[in-house]
Amino acid sequence: LFQNYNPLIRPVRKLEETITVSFSIALLQLISVVEKEQVLKTNVWLQVKWHDYQMQWKREKYGGIQSIRVPPSQVWTPDIVLFNNADGKYEASFKSHVVVYHNGDMNWVPPAIYKSSCYIDVKFFPF
């Protein structure tokens, strides 16, 4: 499966092709809000899905295996970073494994702790 696979190369057949990446985020915890610095620290789970045509196999040839889990360094992963990052750490997610399905679908659910800039207007507080 990984023979001749380069995780640094975007998995497309033609350079002009695009990859549809589905991205969602779930807030688990609001760790801190520093009003003076206008910084928000959160604990989140990300969910990133895409399709990699090179990561496909016939289940019947491999004992019915439907999916495998691999380190993100072994497969191409989308470059998604926090735009309003407040601490200079652009890769704030932990490197959890990517689930690779037999049909080439990829599912990556890394947890992350993000520190972001957040404009706080307390003009009308308390309401």
Can you give the pLDDT at residue 31? Answer: 95
Q: What does the H/E/C string look like for 5-67?
A: CCCCCCCCCCCCCCCCCEEEEEEEEEEEEECCCCEEEEEEEEEEEEEEEEEECCHHHHCCCCE
Look at residue 124 and tell me if it is in a domain. no
Look at residue 12 and tell me if it is in a domain. no
The predicted model scores a pTM of 0.86
Can you give the pLDDT at residue 85? Answer: 83
What's the number of domains the chain is made of?
1
Look at residue 73 and tell me if it is in a domain. yes
Q: Give the domain extent around 92.
A: 22-117
Give pLDDT tens digits for 5-59: 999 999 999 999 999 999 999 999 999 999 889 999 999 999 999 999 999 999 9
Give pLDDT tens digits for 18-33: 999 999 999 999 999 9
Spatial contact of 39 and 117, defined as CB atoms under 8 Å apart: yes
Kindly report the CATH number assigned to the domain that includes residue 49.
2.70.170.10
Look at residue 53 and tell me if it is in a domain. yes
